[in-house]
Amino acid sequence: MSAIPTATPVDDRIGTVQALARQLRIDSIRCTTRAGSGHPTSALSAADLMAVLQAEYLRFDWKDPRHPNNDRLIFSKGHACPLLYSMFKAAGVIRDEELLRLRTLGSPLQGHPNPHVLKWVDVATGSLGQGLATGVGMALNGKYVDHRPYRVWVLLGDSEMAEGSVWEALGKAAHYKLDNLTAILDMNRLGQRGETELGWNGPAYAARAKAFGWKALLIDGHDIAAIRKAYAQARRRKEQPMLIVARTEKGRGVSFLANQENWHGKALSVEQQAKALEELGAPTDLRVPGHRPARHKPVPSPAPAVLTLPVYAPGTAQSTRKAYGESLAALGGYDTEVVVLDAEVSNSTYAEDFKKVYPERFFEMYIAEQQMVSAAVGFGVLGKKAFASTFAAFFTRAYDQIRMAAISNATIRLAGSHAGVSIGQDGPSQMALEDLAMMRAVYGSTVLYPCDPNQTAQLVALMARHPGISYLRTTREKMPVLYTPQERFEIGGSKVLRQSSQDRLTIVAAGITVHEAVQAYDRLAKDGIAVRLIDLYSVKPVDKATLRQAAAETGNKLIVVEDHWVQGGLGDAVLEALADAGTPLPRVVKLAVRAMPGSGTPAELLSTAGIDAAHIVAAAKALA
């Protein structure tokens, strides 16, 4: 290939951008044809938009992708990643032969961007509608926490504008006046199966964005001068985010692809590629590294503080949700990297305890759980220790964001309160009964379920330095303090609360059912039945060794009691731990919620579900 010089006279910048756009189109076709799959037409529509951005407006040190002043670029339309990878080649960070390994086994250039294997990618995309929400988190971090000059650029597809999470993001970005956030809408009219909902109705997109409080510009997405002008305006914008609605053609640059249906997600054949390159030209090796960010000025680190967690005296009672909030407040004074987000229930999750002392690091996401989780991801990938909390049941709305956070290699901490039937009179719509199953299924996740405020405080502190997706399940009701402040806990651990050499079976519980199990133990002891009692507060990873030892020493009989549906929760975690424990396999009785609950007092609902002390006693007598 013939290299084009990177040094270009100022008055020929448009020519360089045009040459770069042509190369991006050519390379997007070449790599997808070689792969035999991909989305070349989705890449072609946005090539001019990205060529201007890379050549003139993106401030990014390609040799140092974690530079704190780097602009951030998110391809929310992640299927257009052949364009992104072609930009990497133009920046000089991957070679042409690497580009041509797109979508092959072992290649970091996967079918959608993945930060597990690409250091120039911040977040995984591909599940549409999430990129802008994550960009909001990054922009919040830059404007309000780190006070950095970087800008967040998000490339949106027009099909994904139907996703509600996009509009959650638009609302929160305007609320927080994120003038460091620019969204670029590649309005190419065609989705996967035909025309999008609004087609080329740019004024409709603009009117909607304006109604949410954004500045909106309508441009021709293939007019280099218009693109340059729009980006310049975006950089000058104050107190308001900007949406650039760019009318484009899907498949632009190739006559038999441009604005044609039935080309979404289809690679060109070798013969079709040859025909396309007759129109676009021969492959080139233009290098356009763009501009570097402002110099990093290190901020002096505050003197290390001593973490002083709240303590709770045995003999008193407190809810684990309150302990969560008080522990967050303690963490905030110890670590300035901690940020907290909440979904308008901070007086119930007690995240408000953090807000009262560190309001500058607290972000109200209102009732927008998808936005909250995505914003936490945005904070997390930029190094912040983000905690996000709401009622546990409502994390189900954001499950796609949570699973994508795992694909993004993000570290975020989620806290779900008001779990299980024990919340009482509010009824089943508020009761998280599937959250343990949901969170256990997330790749690399950690799932914790404390029964005691001192235990909660230590687990919150452990979460602050633990990588990956972690989830803390908290309880609404006050519960007796079981552990002294000196007791120590670890992720992957458990506590044997009661044991003897005469134990005839093991009772395993977590959270509120630990207290029911303690009452059951006392009743069984009066009847001369010795049992072992395990607080399995780490639901994932689970303490296999303790469970297997208990099974072996107590007749291979276990009862697992949980305030959760019978599927996928604590009982299944125990079964998985014992599945290959040898023969004979332990017998496991699961006491869990099996029928749709209604309203009632916590005691009534625990009894109706068959998970209170009386039912544990009955099950133990039957098993023993």
* DSSP, residue by residue, 196-215: -SSTT-HHHHHHHHHHTT-E
Question: 533 and 419 in one domain?
Answer: no
Question: 151 and 259 in one domain?
Answer: yes
CATH assignment at residue 321? 3.40.50.970
DSSP string across 522-560: HHHHHTT---EEEE--EEES--HHHHHHHHHHTTTEEEE
Question: 588 and 444 in one domain?
Answer: no
Inform me whether the pLDDT recorded for 290 exceeds 60.
Answer: yes
**338-373 tens-digit pLDDT:** 999 999 999 999 999 999 999 999 999 999 999 999
Provide the pLDDT for residue 266: 96
Sheet containing strand 181-187, edge to edge, reads: 72-75, 152-157, 181-187, 242-247, 215-220
Cα angle 328, 395, 475; round to 5: 55
What are residue 432's DSSP bridge partners? 419
Residue where a domain terminates, one of 234, 251, 280: 280
Cβ neighbours, 10 Å, residue 269: 11
pLDDT band at 303 (very low <50, low <70, confident <90, very high): low
Question: 573 and 524 in one domain?
Answer: yes
Question: What's the mean pLDDT in 107-122?
Answer: 96
Question: What's the mean pLDDT in 394-413?
Answer: 97
**326-341 tens-digit pLDDT:** 999 999 999 999 999 9
Question: 540 and 514 in one domain?
Answer: yes
The number of folded domains in the chain is 3
Q: Is 292 domain-assigned? A: no
Q: Is 5 domain-assigned? A: no
**419-448 tens-digit pLDDT:** 999 999 999 999 999 999 999 999 999 999
Question: 523 and 435 in one domain?
Answer: no
Question: 593 and 506 in one domain?
Answer: yes
**528-563 tens-digit pLDDT:** 999 999 999 999 999 999 999 999 999 999 999 999
Residue for token digits 């997600």? Answer: 265
> What is the domain range of residue 253?
10-280
Distance of alpha carbon 236 from its chain centroid, rounded? 31
Residue for token digits 């560190």? Answer: 358
Using the CB atoms, write b or e for 92-102: b if 16+ within 10 Å. Answer: ebbeeebbbbb
Question: What's the mean pLDDT in 375-400?
Answer: 97
Question: 119 and 88 in one domain?
Answer: yes
Q: CA–CA separation, 101 vs 285, rounded Å?
A: 17
Residues serving a catalytic function are 369
Question: 445 and 592 in one domain?
Answer: no
Q: Are strands 412-417 and 469-473 parallel, antiparallel or unpaired?
A: parallel
What are residue 182's DSSP bridge partners? 153, 242
Question: 512 and 452 in one domain?
Answer: no
Q: Is 222 domain-assigned? A: yes
pLDDT band at 12 (very low <50, low <70, confident <90, very high): low
Share of the chain above pLDDT 90, in %: 94
Residue where a domain terminates, one of 235, 257, 280: 280
Inform me whether the pLDDT recorded for 300 exceeds 90.
Answer: no
Provide the pLDDT for residue 314: 93
Question: 70 and 94 in one domain?
Answer: yes
Left if phi > 0, otherwise alpha if psi is -120 to 50, otherwise beta: which for 107? beta
- State how far the alpha carbon of 346 is from the alpha carbons of 339, 374, 416, 422, 489, in Å: 14, 18, 11, 20, 26
CATH assignment at residue 547? 3.40.50.920
Residue where a domain terminates, one of 280, 304, 331: 280
Q: CA–CA separation, 326 vs 445, rounded Å?
A: 24
Let me know: does 439 contact 401? Beta carbons within 8 Å: no
The chain-wide mean pLDDT, for the chain, equals 95
Provide the pLDDT for residue 295: 87
Question: What's the mean pLDDT in 449-460?
Answer: 98
Question: 525 and 466 in one domain?
Answer: no
Q: Is 124 domain-assigned? A: yes
